[in-house]
Amino acid sequence: MDAARHHQRARDRGVNPFVYWPARSLVQAVFLVVFRMSRLGRGNIPPRGPAILAANHRSFLDPFVIGTMSRRPLYYVAKRELFELHPVISWLLGALGAFPVDRGRGDRDTIETARQLLARGEMVLIFPEGTRTRPGPLGHPKRGVGRLALETGAPVVPVAVFGTEAIRRGWRIRPHRVRARAGRPLRFPRVQEATPAAAGIVTDRVWACVQLQWAWLGGAVEPAVETTLEAARAA
């Protein structure tokens, strides 16, 4: 796969509006009717300007659920293996705002694409866990979202998606209620180059807020996190 070509497409051309908006309308209708989707905190997503959406990841449907929460195009990372399935799938992913990431190692091209998208005022969805995590409590985040937030100055919106992991059983799709919740944007001081320690601190702060949204939706959390979340609810 020519990953550089897909990154360049996202940087230069962006989503294809003749594909993105009809697809979003169709997905939204299906999710509202079939999966009884509820969306909370949509007003917390900035209507303009750069923004990072940081979310948990349970299903391949998560980007589409989160995409319906926004009234403007959403760009997101997708594992590079998806771009290798078929040329038509590769083209469709690019038209819908996806760009590839090579999981399991630092991917400079992915970070650079996200930077350029944010620099021109776009919104980028990041899954800090790095891969789908299920079932049980959320996984542990990687530092990339903290680094991106510090080096771009873009606000970070914590998002939780609940219920998507129960939709698919093998090749079968079954109706199941889906819920998503966005918290208030988090803002951090901008730096030229984030140290690993600083990126880790910011990531932990962002992830705590994602866990808070997750717990509000009824998701399970680790016992060590529960006390912190209870204090946050009471505040």
Mean pLDDT of the chain: 87
179-205 burial: b if 16+ Cβ within 10 Å, else e: bbbbbebbebeeeeebeeebbbbbbee
DSSP states of 55-98 as a string? E---STTHHHHHHTT-SS--EEEEEHHHHTS-HHHHHHHHHTTE
Of 151, 134, 133, the C-alpha closest to 143 is 151
Tens digit of pLDDT for each residue in 39-78? 999 999 999 999 999 999 988 889 999 999 999 999 998 8
> Is residue 181 over pLDDT 60?
yes
More confident residue, 228 or 52: 52
More confident residue, 213 or 4: 213
Taking only Cα atoms into account, the Rg of the chain, rounded to an integer number of angstroms, comes to 17
pLDDT of res. 138: 83
Tens digit of pLDDT for each residue in 77-134? 888 888 888 889 889 999 999 998 876 555 688 889 999 999 999 999 999 987 766 6
> Is residue 28 over pLDDT 80?
yes
pLDDT of res. 228: 57
> Is residue 164 over pLDDT 70?
yes
Helical spans, DSSP H, in the chain: 3-12, 17-33, 62-67, 80-83, 87-95, 108-119, 144-152, 196-216, 223-234
Asked if residues 79 and 101 have their Cβ atoms less than 8 Å apart, the reply is yes
Q: How far is residue 52's CA from residue 75's CA, in Å, rounded to a whole number?
A: 10
State the burial class of residue 87 (Cβ atoms within 10 Å of its Cβ: 0-12, 13-18, 19+).
exposed
Strand-pair category, 168-169 with 172-173 = antiparallel
Domain residue limits, the chain? 3-234
Tell me the C-alpha to C-alpha distance, in Å, between residue 186 and each of 143, 159, 173.
16, 12, 35
By three-state DSSP, how is residue 209 classified?
helix
**CATH number at 3-234:** 3.40.1130
Say whether the peptide bond before residue 100 is cis (omega within 30 degrees of 0): no
Q: What are phi and psi of 216, to 5 degrees?
A: -60, -30
Asked if residues 207 and 128 have their Cβ atoms less than 8 Å apart, the reply is yes
Residue 107 φ/ψ region, left for φ over 0, alpha for ψ in the -120 to 50 degree band, beta for the rest = beta
Share of the chain above pLDDT 70, in %: 87
